[in-house]
Amino acid sequence: MEFDINESAETPFCEALQMLVNEHENILRLLDLAQNIIDKDELTPDLLDKLSDIIFYVKNYADKYHHAKEENILFEKGQPVQTIINVMLAEHERSREYIRAAVSAIESGNQPQVKQFIGDYINLLQQHIDKENNILYRFFEKMLTDEDKNEMLHAFEDANKKQDADLENNLLKLLDENNV
């Protein structure tokens, strides 16, 4: 299948892929909040508490909610681009490693490492989201049939029902309260 990124850059996404793009917007806002915190000279106890809240949403919203839909539903339809999907999966795992390391650094009180691992996570996810939104999802938009897209939408909706109903609302509240 031939694919020209520029050709489809203005093409709107189907409802299922747009759902993932919207979740990316929330994740990017969360990354902005994390960046604002690690840019501070000192991570005071209240900032460390806020970082712990961010990590909660990284683990539960970005990973268990969003990445799970990609890994268990979308990527299953991507045999023609398995190499790209393998890169995305490796980046998901690397992001988990950064968060585990950041949690360990918070627990040990090593502020330089906290800043380093959170910063590494932010950089990785920003690039990762850009690749998904502008390359991978565009490929899926063009490759998938209407039936595939409809099945995927229903699978995403089912996955959403299995998550904490307040997860996204509470995330948005946190982001709004912090003006990001």
Nearest to 104 by CA among 112, 114, 96: 114
Write the CB contacts of 35 (distance below 8 Å, at least 6 apart in sequence). 119, 122
pLDDT in tens, 151-170: 999 999 999 998 888 999 99
Task: For the chain, list the strands marked E by DSSP.
Answer: none
pLDDT in tens, 69-112: 999 999 998 888 889 999 999 999 999 999 999 999 999 999 99
Domains of the chain: 14-177 (1.20.120.520)
pLDDT in tens, 6-58: 555 668 999 999 999 999 999 999 999 999 999 999 999 999 999 999 999 99
